């Protein structure tokens, strides 16, 4: 691998791409330290250190942002609005005939158009998430010291500062998306995935320090072994696939007859990737987001209920049984959404129709509807394993909390799923570049 990396660095074009990717990642991490205008830094630290349900929710969001939330950076919302917008477009394509026609018939131009609409949806989503995040910080403020003293539309003098905060955070999101697009076009790997990767890996030094402070060197060694074991399982499942044999009939061209070939359809165990985890987190965090508006209610019963709902749906409860109940809900949400998203993707691909158009067939299965039913039946069995896998990845932090009395991991299991996927994809792209120049690649078969 090291020799292959040296070979890659000797190639001027590939070396430029690698250093360009590294430069963009450095710019992204530097931008994550730019604070939102108008914040009170002392009040911010007090808010994050408080024990309220709101502060616990903010600390959870910080784990997913690579520390940008703790600094209340212009990148605090990250590229989550873009990811959510992409998911919305993907789910709408099979539902709206016009979008499905654009996706299937217009080729590359259609994909560019759908990507443009994704950007349009990202802007209002980013502004909405920025407003909700700013409200959360003010809700978590301690002793009346507001993190954003001039935020809100309740007074005329606060309108311009509020707009400046929303514009800055929305621009931060679009800036991060733009950086990701630059990596995709001129660097190595998928830019959006690498941006998420950078935010996850940036938490590792802080997590190492927390583990060392609480458990010492042996604690770090234990969690290193646990991380390696989780990576092994993730790679094993992620690369797993069920191959359906496909046979092509004989074809006649002019006066010559060509014998049919044989191939296979690879059905991946985890076709949905990280999308079910993101959707499940969005669904479960929604009640907590709504509850934060009722915490300040004059009715003490309503305020207490809202506080309990926020603590529960942010996954920061103290009792073991409520933690396990939340973990069970999270597991079921991920499990169900894995099936839902996988079969949305399967319907868009229309494998049975594609095989019939190309003259292929599955041995022993009639073309058309029978082939479609067979592929769906196999997909259901394969996806069952993938759904259990993603559900287990989602609830692993809660299991470590129950048995090891800690929520700190070097990288969370869901984060490792992203990291492993990004690393494998980037290595494959490097391999493709090297093979074009007759070098031996990273991945040996």
The residue that leads in pLDDT, 7 or 35, is 35
User: Which CATH number is 12-203's, of 3.20.19.10, 3.40.50.720, 1.10.3370.10, 1.10.1530.10?
Assistant: 1.10.3370.10
Percent of the chain exceeding pLDDT 90 equals: 6
- Give 376-410 pLDDT, tens digit per residue: 888 888 888 888 888 888 787 777 766 666 555 65
Apex CA 438: angle with CA 435 and CA 440, to 5°?
65
371-383 residues labelled b (16+ CB within 10 A) or e (exposed): bbebbeeebeebb
- Give 80-115 pLDDT, tens digit per residue: 888 888 888 877 887 788 887 887 777 778 888 888
- Give 260-308 pLDDT, tens digit per residue: 567 778 888 888 777 787 778 777 777 776 776 676 667 778 778 877 7
224-235 residues labelled b (16+ CB within 10 A) or e (exposed): eebbeebbeebe
What are 351's two structure tokens? 């494998």
Cβ within 8 Å of residue 327, ≥6 positions away: 395, 398, 399
Over residues 356-369, mean pLDDT: 78
* 363 closest CA partner among 255, 273, 248: 248
- Give 23-80 pLDDT, tens digit per residue: 998 998 888 888 888 887 777 777 766 555 555 556 556 655 656 777 788 888 888 8
User: What are the extents of the domains in the chain?
Assistant: 12-203
Cβ within 8 Å of residue 353, ≥6 positions away: 372
CA dihedral 49, 50, 52, 55 (to 10 degrees): -30
Which range has highest mean pLDDT (26-30, 195-199, 211-215)? Answer: 26-30
Q: State the DSSP string of 96-128.
A: SHHHHHHHHHSHHHHHHHHHHHHHHHHHHHHHH
Mean pLDDT, the chain, rounded, equals 77
- Give 110-119 pLDDT, tens digit per residue: 888 888 899 9
The rounded distance, in Å, linking the Cα atoms of 144 and 43 is 9
Which range has highest mean pLDDT (25-34, 47-56, 347-356, 436-445)? Answer: 25-34
The pTM of this model reads 0.74
- Summarize the chain as % helix, strand, coil (round to 5): 70, 5, 25
- Give 413-432 pLDDT, tens digit per residue: 667 777 777 777 777 777 77
The residue that leads in pLDDT, 123 or 218, is 123
The rounded distance, in Å, linking the Cα atoms of 428 and 436 is 12
Task: Say if residue 167's pLDDT is above 90.
Answer: yes
**Chain center to CA of 420:** 12
User: What is the per-residue pLDDT for 53?
Assistant: 52
Supply the angle between the helices 275-291 and 53-65 in degrees, to the nearest 10. Answer: 150
């Amino acid at each position: 691998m090291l020799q292959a990396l040296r070979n890659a660095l000797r190639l001027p074009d590939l070396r430029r791409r690698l250093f360009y990717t590294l430069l963009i990642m450095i710019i992204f991490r530097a931008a994550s330290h730019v604070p939102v205008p108008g914040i009170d830094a002392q009040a911010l630290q007090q808010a994050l250190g408080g024990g309220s349900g709101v502060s616990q929710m903010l600390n959870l969001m910080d784990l997913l942002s690579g520390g940008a939330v703790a600094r209340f950076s212009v990148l605090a919302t990250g590229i989550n609005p873009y990811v959510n917008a992409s998911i919305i477009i993907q789910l709408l394509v099979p539902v709206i005939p016009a979008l499905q026609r654009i996706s299937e018939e217009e080729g590359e131009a259609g994909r560019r158009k759908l990507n443009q609409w994704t950007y349009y949806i990202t802007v209002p989503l980013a502004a909405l998430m920025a407003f909700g995040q700013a409200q959360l910080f003010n809700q978590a403020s301690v002793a009346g010291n507001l993190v954003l003293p001039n935020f809100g539309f309740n007074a005329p003098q606060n309108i311009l500062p509020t707009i400046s905060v929303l514009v800055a955070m929305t621009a931060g999101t679009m800036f991060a998306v733009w950086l990701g697009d630059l990596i995709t076009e001129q660097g190595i790997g998928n830019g959006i995935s690498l941006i998420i990767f950078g935010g996850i890996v940036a938490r590792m030094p802080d997590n190492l320090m927390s583990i060392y402070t609480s458990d010492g060197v042996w604690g770090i060694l234990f969690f290193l072994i646990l991380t390696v074991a989780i990576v092994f399982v993730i790679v094993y499942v992620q690369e797993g696939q069920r191959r359906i044999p496909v046979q092509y009939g004989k074809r006649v061209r002019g006066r010559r007859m060509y014998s049919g070939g044989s191939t296979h359809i690879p059905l991946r165990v985890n076709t949905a990737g990280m999308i079910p985890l993101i959707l499940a987190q969005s669904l479960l965090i929604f009640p907590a987001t709504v509850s934060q508006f009722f915490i300040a209610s004059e009715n003490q019963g309503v305020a207490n209920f809202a506080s309990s709902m926020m603590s529960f749906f942010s996954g920061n409860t103290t009792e073991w049984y409520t933690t396990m109940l939340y973990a069970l809900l999270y597991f079921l949400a991920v499990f169900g959404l894995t099936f839902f998203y996988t079969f949305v993707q399967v319907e868009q691909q229309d494998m049975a129709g594609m095989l019939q158009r190309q003259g292929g067939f599955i041995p022993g299965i009639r073309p058309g509807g029978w082939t479609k039913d067979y592929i769906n039946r196999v997909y259901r069995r394969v996806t069952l394993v993938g759904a259990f896998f993603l559900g287990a990845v989602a609830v692993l932090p809660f299991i470590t909390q129950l048995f090891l009395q800690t929520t700190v991991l070097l990288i969370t299991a869901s984060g490792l799923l992203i990291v492993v996927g990004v690393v494998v994809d980037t290595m494959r792209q490097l391999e493709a570049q090297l093979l074009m120049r007759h070098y031996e690649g990273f991945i040996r078969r």
